[in-house]
A = this chain, B = another copy of it.
Amino acid sequence: MTRSARPLRADAARNRARVLEVAYETFAAEGLSVPIDEIARRAGVGAGTIYRHFPTKEELFSAVIRDRMQHVVDDGYALLEAGDPGTALFTFLRSIVLQWGATDRGLVEALAGFDIDIQQAAPESEEAFLTVLGELLRAAQQAGTARQDVGAREVKAILVGCQAMQSYNSELAERVTDVVVDGLRPRR
């Protein structure tokens, strides 16, 4: 992801990784409005250090998203390779919503585009995500467990909706996710 000519000094790389981790946890728990100073404090670095690695708050958030997305995409491929093609998509969707969304306010806000535009911020991640989602969807369609008239973008939109539901009412989330995901199954 990093394109700069020279690699980071070891301590700088450690700081960068630590900030990313703390920022994820903090955004996830408290949303995007947490002050940078607070993240710096929790990460045990100065605010200036965060700005050295991420020139704006939005950049920091984009980096967090890219980082997380990478994990999600990896999970998707793991399911594709190891699993049952007829259920991989549904497992994938449920796991994102239930595992991640449960504590992830920042991600929901970002996915819904409230404060940043994720397509702008992390186009590669977006693309990678749509790619794996498309493969999972195709597998399910070929296995006859998903309707033919939707594409990866539609499924992504549904996922955003599920994240919002999760954020809205986490108690209902599991049942409702099932209902919504049922909408993806073939009619009849």
Q: Please give the residue numbers on chain A whose beta carbons come within 8 Å of chain B beta carbons, in ascending order.
A: 31, 105, 108-109, 111-114, 147, 150, 153-154, 157-158, 160-165, 167-169, 172-173, 175-176, 179-184, 187-188
Contacts and interface: CB of A to CB of B under 8 A. Distances in A.
Contacts of A157: 165, 168-169, 172-173, 176
Given A183-B179, A183-B181, A112 B158 contact: no
13 contacts: A114-B167, A154-B172, A154-B179, A157-B173, A158-B165, A158-B176, A158-B180, A160-B164, A160-B169, A161-B164, A180-B183, A181-B183, A182-B183
A188 B169 CA distance: 28
A184 to B, nearest CB: 7
Nearest to A173: B157
A162 B184 CA distance: 14
Copy number in the complex reads 4
A167 B113 contact: yes
The 8 closest A-B pairs by CB, nearest first: A161-B161, A183-B183, A164-B164, A161-B165, A182-B183, A157-B165, A160-B168, A157-B176
A171 to B, nearest CB: 9
A84 B111 CA distance: 36
Contact of A163 (B147, B164, B184): B164
Contact of A161 (B150, B154, B162, B182): B162
A133 B154 CA distance: 26
B111 A168 contact: yes
